[in-house]
Structure formats: structure tokens, C-alpha cells
Chain A
Amino acid sequence: MSFWPTCLGMLAVTFGSRLTGLLVRMRLPPFWLRFLHFVPIAVFAALITPSLEGSRGEGGIRVAAAALAGIVAWRTRHLALTIAVGLAAFWLLRLV
């Protein structure tokens, strides 16, 4: 794994995005404004599903714990609480 080139690449695209908006006076077409609205929704969802099952044969437990965490996120919109409940549920379900 080539950490440092990757890290610098991440710096470049992140800082680049942040600076572009502040420096350039431009108007994006409405289609691409809406596209940008949906990018985090689609990417976050795409990051969740492949890593949900895990590789230790605990898929059922993990999905159940994640569902509970999802309900907590929906009701509270609280990041830390959601992660805590998800992990606690995972550990408890494992003991059962």
C-alpha cells in the first residue's frame, strides 16, 4: 500500500474542491447541482452494503444490529449515539 502518494492525492482533490468553490465565480447547471446533492447519499449507501456482512459469518447479527442503529439514526439524527447503539447491539446479539 502506497500511503503517502494516496494521502497527497486525497489532499489535492479535497483542497482543490474546497478552493474551487471559493475562487471561481460560476453557476452550475441545475442538473449538476441536484447531482451533487445526491452524491453523498449514493456514496454513503454504497459504502455501507459491501461491508455490512463482514467476513466472519456474523452477517445476520450485523444486519440486525445495523437495522437497530438505523432506527436510532432516524429518530435522533445523533452520530455518536447511533454508533454506540449499533456496537452495543452487535456485542449483545453475539452473546445470545
Chain B
Amino acid sequence: MPLWLGVAPFALAYAVLARNAGLSIVETQALSLLVFAGSAQVSAVGLFGRGVGGLEVVLTTFLLNVRHVLYGMSLGRVVPMTRRERLIGAYLLTDEAYGVSVARGARSFPFVLGTEVSLFLVWNAMTLAGALVGGVIPDPERLGVDFVFPVAFLALLVPLLRLRVDVAVALVAGAAAWLLAKWLPGGVPVLGAGVSGALLGAWLTR
């Protein structure tokens, strides 16, 4: 599945960044097994690396993943599921699994589950590979491994910019976070710029 081609290197990049931020192999893997949310994991280890407190990391994770509410509502309407299937389906729900399930017109739980499980396996296998490799890279700081962080988020952001208002929101939020980061520590600029940028976008499109 071509989806793996995007997921595998992202998992690798996540794991190398996590090891670089000081997480152990077990901790790096635990986030992939328990949280299983690519962009939130990368942002979390980036914030960990800057010494940001746990509460801000959790709040940023919430902000990044609250969109899953929408995926669940949409998926729950087209695919009939039992209560137990909903629990499993929710645990493994991702952007990619949702996108594929909806795009291919999935009507059955096994199809959704198959997509989700395959992504989960690839994500965790590549996390392990990256965690092992990331630990033996000599002097990752000098290689500029921390530069992967902004570039990875740039690669996630740019495809989302479809309309002019999307670009405007990105520019305002980016500038606001950059300015706030000069005065405020850790994850506060991300949370502040993220929430106000999204509010601005919703208001501009009223």
C-alpha cells in the first residue's frame, strides 16, 4: 500500500528525534504503541527536548488530536460497528486510516480494521528501527537532527494549504508563535498561536 511509503519514513524520523530528545528506546516505543499519533508524537518529543512540562505536552497533544472527533463521527455514520469494535477502531484511528476508509468507500468494519492494523504495525516496526539507529548516531546535534523537526511539520502543513484563508491562518499562527516564543517558555506559544489561529480561521470563513 503506497500509504506505507509516507508513514514509514515519518516513523523513522520520529524515533530518531525522540532518541535525540533524550527518550529511551522503551519510551520512544511506548508513545508509538500507546498514543499512536504521528504529528502529536513528533511535537511531544520536540517539546520534551526543549524541556517543556508534561501538562503543556498533553494539551498540545489534545489540540493536535481533537480533530479525530470529526473522523469518528464521520466513520461511525458509514460503517456499522458493535460497541467492542468501536473501542478497537477508535484506539487505532488515524488520519490515514480514516482517509483510506472513506476514499475507498469502506462499509464494513473488517476493512477499516485491516487498514488500521497494517498502519499500526508499520508505524511501530519503523519506530523500533529508528529508535535503535537513533541511539548510535554520533553527535546528532552536529548533524542537525533537530532541523528534521521544523521540516517534518512543514511537510505536514503545506499540503493542508488549499485556500488563501488557510495560508493566512498559517502565516499568522507561525508569526504569533515565533514572537511569543521570545517571551514565553515551552509549549505556551504553540497552544496560544494554535488556538487563536484556528479561531481566526473560523471567524474569517463565517
Contacts and interface: CB of A to CB of B under 8 A. Distances in A.
B126 to A, nearest CB: 11
Contacts, number: 287
A66 B9 contact: no
Contacts of B66: 13, 17, 36, 39
Given A14-B65, A19-B90, A21-B73, A82 B54 contact: no
A23 B84 CA distance: 11
Contacts of B158: 70, 73-74, 77, 82
B15 interface: no
Contact of B91 (A15, A35, A66, A79): A15
Interface residues of B, number: 94
A49 B96 CA distance: 26
B18 to A, nearest CB: 11
A60 interface: no
A14 B154 contact: no
Contacts of B51: 1
Interface of B: 5-6, 8-10, 13, 22-23, 27, 30-31, 34-37, 39-40, 43-44, 46, 48, 51, 54-55, 57-58, 60-76, 81, 86-87, 89-91, 93, 141, 144, 146-161, 166, 169-178, 181, 189-190, 193-202, 205-206
28 contacts: A1-B22, A3-B23, A3-B48, A7-B30, A7-B31, A12-B58, A13-B58, A13-B62, A21-B68, A21-B70, A21-B74, A21-B75, A22-B76, A22-B90, A26-B73, A34-B205, A35-B201, A36-B69, A41-B166, A44-B157, A45-B173, A45-B174, A45-B193, A48-B150, A49-B175, A80-B9, A83-B148, A86-B148
Interface of A: 1-3, 5-15, 17-26, 28, 31-52, 54, 56, 58, 62, 65-66, 69-70, 73-74, 77-80, 82-84, 86-87, 90-91, 94
